[in-house]
Structure 1
């Protein structure tokens, strides 16, 4: 770190502590050439994640769009806001951990579908019907059959099975 007074590159850190809000580190430094002290702040630099849309255009990542899509798919289902927020957090974490500066809407859609498949099958089908843009009833039925086959034997809203503990 260059000294702001004499431009010497030789400085040392004399004290480090977190800021009150915990978003950065305050460092007190001393120039080894002129002896003057100064303060620097270290913060995390978040990358600007961009989304590649189907038409090839790009826009900044907005987790609100993911949340809104999930909320629409989960409408009138027994799913809490906290559950939806957890799903959105997991999806965003996976995207950011991918370390790529850009992500396609197709990738985001697959991540949402993977999460919804485990959360609620009806919400999954609702989201899939928009995301996959089914051209006809046959392609929609194929998706339903695949979902039902992947959940055979499980007590799910699509299987029509009742809890076997009832006597």
Structure 2
């Protein structure tokens, strides 16, 4: 069978499956728009409807002391807390304070690495929200020498 024939048959089969409703529809992310548009840590907490965060040694945040380029700042966050349902990354002086939100289940290890943009030197927070709505955090100040959010 030639490649073109294979592609044509694959398209036909996909069309039949879609017509029968056997293919999944478009995926839509469920997210809290107000939280992602918040301009401060207090606004994020209010938008999420959780209590004020309390500092905890059970939540960890690692990142560089100095980020030479604010456009690509590596971070890692993790927690050893049982029953965590969500991990957040908050960047205090960014245009949008909430930089990332990860929903956690028992099947997921609550440990993530990511790169974020930072507008300027500020505190970065790793926030863990437990199933019983306890809100715990770790923080780190990261100095930015070249801004990534419009700077």
TM-score, normalised via structure 1 length:
0.24
Specify which structure has the bigger relative contact order, considering alpha-carbon pairs within 8 angstroms and separated by 6 or more residues. Answer: 2
Higher helix share: 1
Higher strand share: 2
